[in-house]
């Protein structure tokens, strides 16, 4: 994390021994160790919170993207028991809400045999 090697740690310990003295050094080292542990725990909890927030944001974006798909909306409408809405959406997309022209009579007209 801080990129401190063994020689730097040894140098700091020697300076601390000279400044603090041999009687108080173990207590100070223990206190420093507790503070370093608390800081590591804090940093790891912040990282976990950030990761969780990023995952939540990605999931929300994915759900919004899927909700934009019309077929899924139609399927959801049918599942929830609102098939009319689903049919209306299909009609809007295909333009089926416009009246259809009258069907042409496909049977050929035969000439009247009795007209004569």
Q: Where are the domains of the chain?
A: 9-96
pLDDT of residue 31: 93
pTM of the predicted model as reported, rounded to 2 decimal places: 0.45
pLDDT of residue 52: 95
Continuous segment of H or E residues that includes residue 58: helix 25-67
Which pLDDT tens digit goes with each residue over 46-87? 999 999 999 999 999 988 887 777 776 777 777 887 655 444
For tokens 């496909």, the residue is 106
Answer for the pair 40, 48: CB distance below 8 angstroms, yes or no: no
Closest CA to 78 of 90, 68, 66: 90
Assigned token pair, 9:
């740690």
pLDDT of residue 86: 44
4 pLDDT above the threshold of 70: yes
Cα distance between residue 35 and residue 27, in whole Å: 12
């Amino acid at each position: 994390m801080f990129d401190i090697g063994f020689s730097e740690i040894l140098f700091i310990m020697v300076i601390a021994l000279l400044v603090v003295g041999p009687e108080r050094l173990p207590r100070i080292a223990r206190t420093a160790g507790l503070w370093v542990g608390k800081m590591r725990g804090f940093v790891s909890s912040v990282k976990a919170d950030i990761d969780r927030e990023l995952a939540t944001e990605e999931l929300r974006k994915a759900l919004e993207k899927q909700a934009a798909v019309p077929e899924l909306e139609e399927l959801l409408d049918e599942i929830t028991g609102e098939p009319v809405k689903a049919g209306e959406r299909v009609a809007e997309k295909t333009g089926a809400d416009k009246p259809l022209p009258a069907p042409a009579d496909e049977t050929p007209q035969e000439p009247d045999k009795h007209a004569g």
